[in-house]
């Protein structure tokens, strides 16, 4: 959920970055049949992203704080 510059300043190895500002345009990249673990610096973007994903019928969404 981080913006590109935030992602490159530190991220979990193997993570795929989709900034919250681009999430709706990139939904097709996210599988609905696998667990998605969201993380950001404060947790606020996670919550927004989770709401978007739930509205699009993603059911296995977790937050990493």
Task: Return the CATH class of domain 4-63.
Answer: alpha beta
CA distance 40 to 9: 12
Locate 60 and state its tokens.
């296995």
CA distance 1 to 22: 9
What radius of gyration, in Å, describes the C-alpha atoms of the chain? 11
CB 22 within 8 A of CB 30: no
User: pLDDT in tens for each of the 65 residues of the chain?
Assistant: 667 777 777 777 888 889 999 999 999 999 999 999 998 888 899 999 999 999 999 999 998 86
Domain limits of the chain? 4-63
**Concatenated DSSP letters of 32-44:** TTS-EEE--SSSH
């Amino acid at each position: 959920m981080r913006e590109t510059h935030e992602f490159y300043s530190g991220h979990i190895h193997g993570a795929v970055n989709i900034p919250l500002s681009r999430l709706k345009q990139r939904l097709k990249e996210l599988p609905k049949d696998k667990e998605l673990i969201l993380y950001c610096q404060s947790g606020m973007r996670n919550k927004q992203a989770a709401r978007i994903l739930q509205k699009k019928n993603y059911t296995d969404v977790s937050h990493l704080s």
